[in-house]
Amino acid sequence: MASLWGGRFEKDMDQIVKEFNASIGFDQRMYNEDIDGSIAHVTMLGEQGIVTKAEADEIIRGLEKIRKEIASGEIVFNVDDEDIHMGIESRLIKEVGEVGKKLHTSRSRNDQCQVDGRIYLRREIKEIIGELSYFEEVILAKAEKYADSITVGYTHIQHAQPITLGFVFMAYFQMFKRDIQRLQDTLERMNLSPLGACALAGTTMPINRQRTAELLDFDGPTENAMDSVSDRDYALEFLSDASISMMHMSRWAEEFAWWNTSEFSFIAIDDSFCTGSSIMPQKKNPDMAELLRGKTGRVYGDLMQLLTVMKGTPLAYNKDFQEDKEGLFDAIDTWKACVQIFARMLEKTEFRMDMIEKQLGKGFLNATDIAEHFAKQGIPFREAHSIVGQMVKACENKGCDFDGLTDSDLTSIDNRVTKEMLGDISIKACVDARKSFGGTAPSEVRRQIRVGTEWLKGIRKE
């Protein structure tokens, strides 16, 4: 098949070159966006008198017919089509004849692929925000359910302080909230139309770029034609957003894998989100959590691939930029699937409070609270810190917890300290007292839930 751009060539491409050069195998998923961009473009050409109204209408009729044929599977693309732009335009010319050759007036594949990419990514971003919002709903529901349930808080993977499970859920809520906000920022920045930038320098034709931007629901046209065709920042921003969000999921998936072990037994993941062993009949493996960790590296790779493609490319367009799509599509599909899986896995996971409670007496979880209690009674915190550290050592030597220390034990550490000064150092009292803004007390967790719920309602309305 002769190429639409082959006028100055005496030879067709070698078959191996055709296959290496073609992007139709992956960019055909943007056929709807390509047709939408073409319809907006020819509508504007008709309004500007660059083509007649009748010509514009005939081209639009042909494009809509091709859209239906692609959707029904009647049109099957191959490497001779090269890319989705040529694949559609060549069929348009066959469908409507010579008038179809006027569609490409005042545009280039350089700006056309950018239009397709931005429209496609804009739709996908909105879908991913929807999936993340559902995930946040699940988190809020779990946070409310476990707002009073006490668990172990860790630092350095060691027992640190007592916290509520609701507090843990709300920590992850904040992470995914930022993920949504990053996507919103990306969406706002990328929602400008490159259509009409042409190859790199605009056109001599009296086009109206504001009009095509309006028709395609962009906020306006891009400012500089050369930047328009060579910019892939929007894709890089999205891939960065995806990588950060996948990192958040991977961190939680790591905890799920720990919590599911026999050593922890903190959670019971529903059977429908686990797998078994081909040789060990007793196994119930948290494979979804492990896969979430693994797929994080895949999305990181998509980001690094495009950063590497872009790092040495001079202005304006280069064929290297064709490599922007496969990694982008992969990250979209992977991120979306991971959010869906995690949300549903979390929904069907219950926390085993009986097993968690067995850990609350270990690791001197209330040590910091005792130091703060001493500080409230006039002992400088740094001295209180040292006193409690010596109390911990005394407990380890005696094989007891803080309640097992006598007045004699305490005064031998510091003559200002008595058992009476300890007050209520129960784990529940320690948690309930942490009412500082953003703290773990159930009352404060419920405030966080209310704020999160109101914020999420706003997202749902957008």
| 85 flagged as catalytic | no
Q: How far apart are CA 92 and CA 41, in angstroms?
A: 15
380's torsion region: left (phi>0), alpha (psi -120 to 50) or beta?
beta
Q: Under DSSP, is residue 163 helix (H, G, I), strand (E, B) or coil?
A: strand
Q: Under DSSP, is residue 22 helix (H, G, I), strand (E, B) or coil?
A: coil
Q: What DSSP string runs through 45-104?
A: HHHTTSS-HHHHHHHHHHHHHHHHHHHHT-----GGG-SHHHHHHHHHHHHHGGGGGGTT
Q: Which of 133, 240, 245, 277 is catalytic?
A: 277
Q: How far is CA 267 from CA 176, 264, 356, 370, in A?
A: 22, 8, 9, 30
Q: Which of 72, 156, 408, 436 is catalytic?
A: 156
Alpha carbon 263 to chain centroid, angstroms = 31
Of 200, 392, 421, nearest to 314 by C-alpha is 200
| 41 flagged as catalytic | no
Find where tokens 């007292």 sit.
433
- Beta-sheet strands, E only, within 142-198: 150-155, 158-164
Instruction: List active site positions.
Output: 156, 277
